[in-house]
Structure 1
Amino acid sequence: MASRKAKQYCAEGKYVEAYENFVNYFESLEDAYQASEPVQKAFTKLVCKIGTILEHTENIEELIKCYLQAINLFPDNYVAVNNLGGYMFRLGEVDIANRYLELAVKINPGYLPAEKNLMHLRWQQIPRWHFRMLNDKVRNEAYYKAINEVIGQGYCHITDLGSGCGLLSLYASRHPQVRVLAIEDNKLLFNMSQEILMDNNVMNVSPVNYYSTDILESPDKCNVIMTETFDVALFGERALESLFHALTILRTEENFKVIPSTAKLYVTGINSEELASKYWYIPSETLKFLQLHSLCIRQYDSETYEAEHLSDAAITYMTDTQEVFDINLADREQLYRILADTETAYYLVSLKCKKGIIHALAVWFDLNLTENITLTSNPQDPNRVKCWEQAIFYLDHPVYVNEGEILNIRVQVDDCQPKFSLEDKRVGQHKCFQVSKDMISFMNDESLVQAIVRMSEPFYEPDLVVDSNIFPLLGFILAMNIEGCRVWHTVKNNKDMEFLQHLLKINNIPQQKFAIHKSQEVFSPGPEQYFVNFCDPVKVDGSVDVLCGEDDEVDEIMVLKLPEGVVVKVQLIYSEYIEYCNKVNDDNLLGVKIAKYMNLYSGYEHPNLEKLDFIEYSTPVYFMISEDAEETEEVQVTRDGLVNGLYFWYELQYFDDYSFSTLNSSHYKKSCFFLNEPKKVKSGDICIIKMKTEGHDMKLTLE
């Protein structure tokens, strides 16, 4: 029988032959659903296995063909539909991914992996900063007043660049004499804005779905250009390029206004061990045995600058603050001069220093919407807008400066991106390596490093260690201390590999003893008698991989899986930030109704929390993470008030008597599940928290 032969091939690891036999069997039936449920499940498991292998080998065509054939045979196979949707999402094919993921959720509304994948896709379609922007009432009121002021001066033909969901256009539309051309290139936001305009009974706004610089001639009269397309470094989102094009092509009248009218960009030098530890490895005594003190290890620059709320960080301002640009946003020639800069053109800014160490340059801006209305992102100004962080440009190396020393900063504009660097290059004395951000945070988490060092002590002598942590510390320790021990580790990029290979060299560890592979290579264990599988079930963003370390192919080998168990600790909280970053509140929009459209793209979880201000409403309750489980725990409320979140962290149980908590970890961010609506509680109330795990995912809800 073909299905029996297919199962045999699966057991032998002959996946192609197994797949072909399954397909032949299903096609021999009048309806593939006539096959028994166990056979269908075995086929689904095989399809997922083949999909994983094809993705690792980047065989896109065969992967899509495999999943589509499985879906054609079993249209209701929500596992295959979800996996294909998830893969298309990872490829960046968001529209295609959306269709498959929505279908998977429709087929099985309770299937957690599809639900999570769709939520992650929604976050990419509408990033959380949209929610923060729309909820920033200070920003909204300033733009509202500026728009009214300009219209009151008789300017009525408005072009809104990057109109998003249409908030600024809606403000302008309240004046019946006004006509607004709202230009938005994001198709989803454009479609949403059309619905919002209809819902708000607006007739004098014309939305168009274009990137503004692709428009070759003005489609309408224009004597006002308004925009809010600014990032934390002011014009990193190509705002100046859009304005230059609008002044050249879209503006039709000589007498015109631009909102904002002018902008100023500022820079200062800062010292912050807290921020520096995100960018450089800070040498510690715990890792001294790896010879790291002789190296400079820093994050490779995937982005030109980072965004940080400096008001929340421990920092010292080490220089005076200097103005970098004072830009008249209505001056086409000035915009051209800034945008036309080449790699050899630059500006110099001189900063007067205090004595100490400078880690980075902090940048913020003022937006003068009109002569009378100003917004600022200055972290030292109590009236600043909160939706923008500050831009942080890390130096190549920390710089030691003396009191009164002048630090010359080179400022360049390259492809609309501002870039800041030292004019006088200061060469470090150590050999430099650039590694991933996650590797830096792992190495700088002293409590995590100490936990792994301590955990390595009770080992017998394993034949093989598979260490899948971002930095294979356990692998290094056992390779250095156990003569016959071999290590397997995978990396995602060449820079991490180069650094780890250098560590092998300076610590005299032969490469044949410590194998470092690219992540697409699939691990196949040999007949080791004692095999340690050290995975990292907690992701850096604070979520958990329930199935971390699970592999059917190693079940027959004598394996020590670490951690041996994972406990999730959960408590009831209330946090204003949850309301601010996840759901739009129409009360912040000055009478405009947008929330019901935007909130379709809010989520029920917020990973990657570095800091979260909240009020505790219970002591923690505990769940042991296990595969495909549903459990509930009672929790007693400890104070009167409102609850809107389930804050959680993990305890990694390495051995019976030893564990590590991620609560105060600097490597693992925190995560929080949201309630649909805040819940009113009283001290002494009993609430029920439910944990559900399915596949690799976990979800917490308040029942």
Structure 2
Amino acid sequence: MPNASTKPKHGRRTRRRHREDPARNELVSSSLESAQQCLFNQDYGTAFVHYLLALNLAPVFKDFARDSFRFTLFKWAEELDSLGRIQDLFSCYEQALELFPDDEVILNSMGEHLFRMGFRDEAAGHFHKALKMRPDYPEARENFYRVANWLVERWHFLMLNDRGRNQKYQKAIHRAVQSGCSTVLDIGTGTGILGMCAKKAGAAHVYACELSKTMYELACEVVSANGLGGKINIIHMKSLEMEVPRDIPERVSLVVTETVDAGLFGEGIIESLIHAWHNLLLPRQISEPSATGRVIPAGATVFAMALECPEIRRHHRLCVSSVGGLSLAACGDLRSPVSCSSVPDDSMEPYTTERLSRLPGGYTALTQPFTALNIDFNNVQELEGLTSRPVQRVWLPVTQEGGLDALAIWFQLHLDQDNSLSTGPEEDTCWEQAIYPVHTTKDFALKLEDKLLVEVSCRDAYLRLCSVAVLRDGQEIRLDKPAPDLTDPGPNQNPEAQLCSALASLQTDHDKDFCVLECAEMALLNNEEYHRSFQNAVTKLFSQLKLANQNKRQNSSELFYVLDVSEGFSLLSLIAASQGHVKAYSSVEKNKQQEVLKRLARSNNIPEESLEFWLNGTEDDQGVLQRPSTEKLWSAIMLDCVETCGLVRQKLMDKASLARCLLEEGGRIFPERIVVHGMLVESDMLLLESAVQGQEPTLGFNIAPFINQFTVPVHVFLDFSTLECKHLSESVELFVLDLMDTSANYTTRQVKVRATHTGRVTAIPFWYHIFLYEDICVSTLSQHSHWKQAAVVLQEPLEVRAGDWICLTVNLHKSTITISAQTDSQPHPMD
């Protein structure tokens, strides 16, 4: 037994008292006081430094000063951002997070800056961490949903839901591995599915690379969850940077990839395969096939055709001669940033993408499809010679009369000799088609006897298609330069004389300078209904203001001050200025776009002094919404309320609250209110585009739980008129946003909807009736609207029968609308 005297004695110990440091305390106190004083003087940079010093010296004050510190940080960050001091901005956030590493508000704010600067992966990490700190934090949740659309694009879900596509890839990979391709590299692995197929087929060594940090981490999770964590080596790297033996120990015998976009080459597959053949793949050996490298897909055939499509036309060129009482003849050459020519232009995109089968109004094929290109991915010499291929000139007989709006392409992807995938417009596929808009054929119609000349080239590893000429009656009409009015000749006109006149005009040197508008801005410019409604609204407002001034015996000829803070290009300020006695301020910033408005003002006899370009890109609402002068208030303020994608703009209600304070008596915000409408629908397509569906693993792999973390509840850029869906109810008013009357607004509303048909409610598409002034209204569901629609996709479909009542709970938080649905068991009176 141990000696009892060796046991420790439990006596009371005297706690050493912390010695106060008067100098330190005085420094902390004076720094906090100085921070408050600097804050009062709006010297945010100095205040931030004082807070850093005080809180680092005395962390005990962190909770006390947290709100003031946040406010100081955000105001100082705004200043640094406006000065372009981006590195200093992020340094301040890093210092702030050293003090408050778990502050969800600071994490979210830094994520917003990162996302706006283009650092999407890093932004997502901050939003995700903020949600971990506070799962009910709505700003972080909304931001994460927005960034999730960028990080994991919706086609990932469609692709994983496409069983036919997945099985064909699996068969091709299985056959290659079984024939001796034992080492495999998956380039652009995404979720890791193709690499896992190779391992499951029996490959000895599988490597995969992924550039996106988000997708790399997702692939690591998926591979590990499927028991292949130590069997597939996933590398966070671009394949072009990979070397043997630094990154992988050996050259591989098989490369699998799906780095193709709607235009086939847009994701850099040519460059990555050339690099792979020279650095990562076993070389081709005809004499020894077992030691030969190969690629899946083995190659592709590209098809193209010319088409007429009003929806494409209105997004890429000016289609109207006047809007809102303004003649647009002086606009000059306006076009979208999508323009393809035989000479590459870095400032323009060669093509855009559309799902032709879903375009509102449809399309008309003007020629038969033709083969534009064949490419063998297993022939490195052919890949290297692609960009130096001579331009291919193809004459296409016109098979249908109509206006030439675009060329469209799709392709057949040859995985191996027996398996292929088609991205054609009639196929049920996760791919869209590539669209090459035509800008220079306004009012020019192709005829049945015409032949269209198309040039095909790949000069910068992008597939480029240009419609350059039309052969008519033995004469060649060039289309690859701005043309005069090539209208169809009337019954009494000589077609030959008209053709000669057109050709003579084309010899004239035209101004090559043109103004670029975004596709949505071009569609807005072509929206006659919207501008006509706005013209009627401002006319009505100014008439009432003049009458009110007369009744008050005030000067009825006094100027009205109008502010337009629309995003991007807008004619609203000019339409207001055309009313007379108006001083209009425009938010248009780009010099060329300002020149277009100035030309329109001159050609429409609007005095130069009536229009001013005032807003210089400031993001501070206090700076944007100012008085026109110290003694004046605004007669009208135009707010851009709805994003093109179909969502209400962020911070709309905050801007509206500020704008109301700056209106003169009788002045108005345009629009004055927004009414949200919606409908119950059953749409399998929306489910397929929103999440991996079903309980069955994809090709036997457990992928859905991981990628479905990036499911977002709202589907945007939706064309409701062409959505594959079953309507289960009539449209119903969901919510009202009153921009003029604060007291009329609410944050939550319950709406009872009666099902008109039996089915599964999978989504609630919604759109807006935008009331500009009193009863003058435009709808974002209009056929000619430049806006798209959005839809809330339910996490679990709701079974309903015709006659059932469904209760929708609609919430608004900082301009973000959320909707939940459940069956309503309460009795309702008969209709």
TM-score, normalisation: structure 2:
0.76
Q: Does 1:667 align with 2:786?
A: yes
Code of the residue aligned with 2:577 in structure 1: it is A
CA displacement at 1:395 relative to structure 2: 1.9
Match for residue 427 of structure 1? 482
2:734 to 622, 630, 635: 622
- Measure the CA separation in 1 of the matches of 2:106 and 2:601: 41
- How do 1:554-703 residues align onto structure 2 when only pairs under 5 Å count? 555=661, 557-558=663-664, 559-585=667-693, 587=696, 589-611=698-720, 612-619=723-730, 620-625=732-737, 629-664=747-782, 666-702=785-821
- Measure the CA separation in 2 of the matches of 1:107 and 1:201: 30
- Measure the CA separation in 2 of the matches of 1:553 and 1:44: 25
2:160 to 134, 137, 155: 134
CA displacement at 1:674 relative to structure 2: 1.7
- Measure the CA separation in 2 of the matches of 1:71 and 1:182: 34
Distance change in 2, residues 1:162/1:80 (3 Å) = closer
Which 10-residue stretch deviates more, 239-248 or 153-162?
Answer: 153-162
CA displacement, residues 113-135 of structure 1 (integer Å, 9 cap, x when unaligned): 22111112222221112112222
2:524 to 442, 448, 453: 442
RMSD: 3.3
CA displacement, residues 378-433 of structure 1 (integer Å, 9 cap, x when unaligned): 224xxx35111111111231254343433322222243211222344343228753
The 8 Å contact of residues 435 and 499 in structure 1, kept in 2 or not, is answered as: no
Match for residue 303 of structure 1? 349
2:637 to 533, 553, 564: 533
CA displacement, residues 36-65 of structure 1 (integer Å, 9 cap, x when unaligned): xxxx76775675555445534434355446
Instruction: Extract unaligned runs of 5+ from structure 2.
Output: 1-29, 339-347, 469-477, 486-510, 547-558, 739-744, 823-831
- Measure the CA separation in 1 of the matches of 2:304 and 2:654: 44
**SS in structure 2 at match of 1:160:** strand
Q: Does 1:333 align with 2:333?
A: no
- Measure the CA separation in 2 of the matches of 1:78 and 1:511: 49
The 8 Å contact of residues 564 and 653 in structure 1, kept in 2 or not, is answered as: yes
Code of the residue aligned with 1:591 in structure 2: it is G
Which 10-residue stretch deviates more, 426-435 or 460-469?
Answer: 426-435
Distance change in 2, residues 1:519/1:594 (3 Å) = farther
The 8 Å contact of residues 269 and 319 in structure 1, kept in 2 or not, is answered as: yes
CA displacement, residues 95-122 of structure 1 (integer Å, 9 cap, x when unaligned): 4323432233234322322211111222
The 8 Å contact of residues 452 and 473 in structure 1, kept in 2 or not, is answered as: no
Match for residue 613 of structure 2? 516
The 8 Å contact of residues 210 and 234 in structure 2, kept in 1 or not, is answered as: yes
- Measure the CA separation in 2 of the matches of 1:216 and 1:207: 14
The 8 Å contact of residues 632 and 691 in structure 1, kept in 2 or not, is answered as: yes
**SS in structure 2 at match of 1:603:** coil
2:237 to 197, 201, 210: 210
Q: Does 1:187 align with 2:213?
A: yes
Distance change in 2, residues 1:244/1:76 (3 Å) = closer
- Measure the CA separation in 1 of the matches of 2:237 and 2:215: 11
- Measure the CA separation in 2 of the matches of 1:251 and 1:472: 53
CA displacement, residues 288-338 of structure 1 (integer Å, 9 cap, x when unaligned): 633337744321235221111122332111123221221122111111100
The 8 Å contact of residues 173 and 296 in structure 2, kept in 1 or not, is answered as: yes
**SS in structure 2 at match of 1:387:** coil
The 8 Å contact of residues 493 and 518 in structure 1, kept in 2 or not, is answered as: no
- How do 1:81-230 residues align onto structure 2 when only pairs under 5 Å count? 81-176=107-202, 178-202=204-228, 204-217=231-244, 219-230=249-260
**SS in structure 1 at match of 2:802:** coil
Distance change in 2, residues 1:361/1:118 (3 Å) = same
Distance change in 2, residues 1:357/1:156 (3 Å) = same
Which 10-residue stretch deviates more, 148-157 or 301-310?
Answer: 148-157
Code of the residue aligned with 1:210 in structure 2: it is M
**SS in structure 2 at match of 1:31:** helix
Aligned length: 690
Which structure's relative contact order is higher, taking Cα pairs within 8 Å and 6+ residues apart? Answer: 1
- Measure the CA separation in 2 of the matches of 1:417 and 1:193: 29
CA displacement, residues 645-681 of structure 1 (integer Å, 9 cap, x when unaligned): 1211112222333332222252111011121121222
Match for residue 390 of structure 1? 433
- Measure the CA separation in 2 of the matches of 1:390 and 1:128: 16
**SS in structure 2 at match of 1:584:** coil
CA displacement at 1:196 relative to structure 2: 1.8
- Measure the CA separation in 2 of the matches of 1:143 and 1:134: 12
Distance change in 2, residues 1:7/1:675 (3 Å) = farther
**SS in structure 1 at match of 2:266:** coil
CA displacement, residues 226-261 of structure 1 (integer Å, 9 cap, x when unaligned): 221111111111112222222222222522433222
The 8 Å contact of residues 396 and 454 in structure 2, kept in 1 or not, is answered as: yes
Match for residue 474 of structure 1? 572
The 8 Å contact of residues 324 and 535 in structure 2, kept in 1 or not, is answered as: no
Which 10-residue stretch deviates more, 240-249 or 520-529?
Answer: 520-529
Instruction: Extract unaligned runs of 5+ from structure 1.
Output: none
The 8 Å contact of residues 436 and 496 in structure 1, kept in 2 or not, is answered as: no
The 8 Å contact of residues 676 and 767 in structure 2, kept in 1 or not, is answered as: yes
The 8 Å contact of residues 209 and 238 in structure 2, kept in 1 or not, is answered as: yes
The 8 Å contact of residues 10 and 18 in structure 1, kept in 2 or not, is answered as: no
Match for residue 238 of structure 1? 268
CA displacement at 1:82 relative to structure 2: 2.0
CA displacement, residues 612-669 of structure 1 (integer Å, 9 cap, x when unaligned): 3322233313312267823333333333221121211112222333332222252111
Code of the residue aligned with 1:303 in structure 2: it is E
**SS in structure 1 at match of 2:386:** helix
CA displacement at 1:542 relative to structure 2: 0.6
TM-score, normalisation: structure 1:
0.89
2:367 to 319, 323, 341: 319
Larger of the two Rg values belongs to structure? 2
Match for residue 587 of structure 2? 490
- Measure the CA separation in 1 of the matches of 2:249 and 2:227: 23
Which 10-residue stretch deviates more, 678-687 or 604-613?
Answer: 678-687
Code of the residue aligned with 1:662 in structure 2: it is T
The 8 Å contact of residues 569 and 648 in structure 1, kept in 2 or not, is answered as: yes
The 8 Å contact of residues 135 and 584 in structure 1, kept in 2 or not, is answered as: yes
